Structure 1
Amino acid sequence: MRLVQISDCHLQADPRARSRARSRAGFPLRQLEAVIEAVNRERPDMVLVTGDVSQDETAASYRLAVRTLGALDAPWFWLAGNHDEPALMAEARELPDELELGSWRVLLLDTRVSGQPHGELGPERLGWLADRLEEDDRPTLLVMHHPPLAVGSAWLDELGLLDREAFWQTLAAYRQVKAVLCGHIHQAFASRRRLEAGAVAVYGCPSTTDQFLPGAETFAVDEASRPGYRVVDLEAGDLTTWVERVEP
């Protein structure tokens, strides 16, 4: 089974709007359309959009997103990021928390904190996660917006998942969690966290628009990089993944 992750589209109500980059600003809608065209060539079984769909948090931006993502040749699902308004997203399209993909189970976690750029799960959502893992031991992929590990950029690491240690403590007893996919960081990223039950891989995804400069102490756009997406091939209890880039 093939899953494709796209993330951080930052669309606005105005389809002609430029991105927030300080120089060489692109056009988020045009860039997303180019990514979708490339994703369709991958022939995925499912596409996940891991947050920050909108930049201006307007109903019109989500209607534009739904129309644009409708060009995908596979079923697609989304979750909210820190720039999103979940109530408006849900009016435009359902926000699921669990999906089936072949022999794999996909759990979508809401890490958004209203009005804040950082993420947090909190006791209630961590309890929900533990309950879901307790009831089913199939290979599981977790999907969230904020990264649960430091990514090596000081400013981004302050805006990641604040209760990351509580998250990892929740996973410690569950061997079926194989990997975490996250958005938010606008760059390719791969790491892992070793737990008593086994290592869990963590993968970040390029944005469909502007990319953040890896390793930067303060906010910086990587002007040499291009929009992209992540491909994940799921097999029996294992996965293979890589990032593709797109010329917008």
Structure 2
Amino acid sequence: MRLVQLTDCHLQADPAARARAGFPLRQLEAVVEAVNRERPELVLVTGDVSDDETAASYRLAEQALSRLDAPWFWLPGNHDRPALMAECRALHDELDLGDWRALLLDTHVGGRAGGELDEAALATLDERLAADERPTLLVMHHPPLPVGSAWLDAIGLADGAAFWRVIAHHPQVRAVFFGHVHQAFHGTHTLADGEVPAYGCPSTIDQFLPGSSTFALDEASRPGYRLIELRDGTLETWVERVDP
């Protein structure tokens, strides 16, 4: 099965609005066109769909993303308003991928750039994982481990250690995919029974400079998306870039 992740569209109510390094809607449309050429069976949109938190921005996103030739599902990021997203298109917390499944985790915290899975959310995750032993992907907006940029690590997932303590009991978790960092990223978290890989994804708009201690754009990088191939309990994943 082929999946695609795209993330951090940062659309505004004005379809002609400009971002730091381009035009968000125009660049999202270019990414959608490129993704269709990949012929995925499903697309995951991992948050920060909006930049200005307006209903109009979600309508623009829904129109652009509905040009995808595959079913697509979104989850909220720190710039989003989940209630407005849900009014535009349903939010899902689990996807049946046949021999696999994906759990979509809501790490949004109103008024904060960082994310969180509180005790109740972690208990629910533990229960959901215990109920199904199929190979599982965890999909979220905020990274649950450091990505090597001090300013981004300060606004990642709060108490990532608690998250990994839950995952440690469930060896069927094959990987974590997240947005928020506007860059390709691959890291691992080591558990008693092995390592769990975690992957970040380029934004459809501005790219952040990897390894920077303070905010900086990667002006040499282009928008992109992540391909995910699921095969017999294993996965392969890589990033593709798009000329805006």
TM bin, normalised by shorter chain, reads over 0.9
2:196 corresponds, among 188, 195, 200, to 200
Pairing 1:148–2:144 present: yes
Tell me, in whole angstroms, the C-alpha distance in 2 between the residues paired with 1:102 and 1:187. 29
Contact 1:187/1:212 (<8 A) preserved: yes
Tell me, in whole angstroms, the C-alpha distance in 1 between the residues paired with 2:193 and 2:111. 35
Q: Report the equivalent of 1:211.
A: 207
Q: Report the equivalent of 2:31.
A: 35
* Structure 1 SS opposite 2:240: strand
Q: Deviations over 1:104-124 (max 9, x none)?
A: 110000111110000110101
Counterpart residue type for residue 91 of structure 1: E
Q: Deviations over 1:37-70 (max 9, x none)?
A: 0000100000000000000000000011000101
Pairing 1:15–2:15 present: yes
RMSD: 0.6
Q: Deviations over 1:177-221 (max 9, x none)?
A: 000000000000001111123211100000000000001111111
Tell me, in whole angstroms, the C-alpha distance in 1 between the residues paired with 2:105 and 2:159. 13
1:105 corresponds, among 81, 101, 106, to 101
Tell me, in whole angstroms, the C-alpha distance in 2 between the residues paired with 1:71 and 1:242. 23
- Report the TM-score, using the length of structure 2 for normalisation: 0.99
Shift in Å, 1:171? 0.6
Unpaired stretches in structure 1, ≥5 consecutive residues: none
Q: Report the equivalent of 1:4.
A: 4
State the 4+ residue runs in structure 1 displaced beyond 2 angstroms: none
* Structure 1 SS opposite 2:162: helix
Counterpart residue type for residue 101 of structure 1: L
Q: Report the equivalent of 1:161.
A: 157
Pairing 1:63–2:68 present: no
- Report the TM-score, using the length of structure 1 for normalisation: 0.98
Counterpart residue type for residue 212 of structure 2: A
Contact 1:66/1:92 (<8 A) preserved: yes
Unpaired stretches in structure 2, ≥5 consecutive residues: none
Tell me, in whole angstroms, the C-alpha distance in 2 between the residues paired with 1:116 and 1:197. 34
Summarize the alignment of residues 174-185 of structure 1 with structure 2, pairs less than 5 Å apart: 174-185=170-181
* Structure 2 SS opposite 1:64: helix
Percent of aligned pairs sharing the same letter: 69
Tell me, in whole angstroms, the C-alpha distance in 1 between the residues paired with 2:156 and 2:231. 29
Shift in Å, 1:173? 1.1
Tell me, in whole angstroms, the C-alpha distance in 2 between the residues paired with 1:89 and 1:15. 17
Pairing 1:74–2:82 present: no
Counterpart residue type for residue 7 of structure 1: T
Tell me, in whole angstroms, the C-alpha distance in 1 between the residues paired with 2:150 and 2:190. 22
Counterpart residue type for residue 213 of structure 2: E
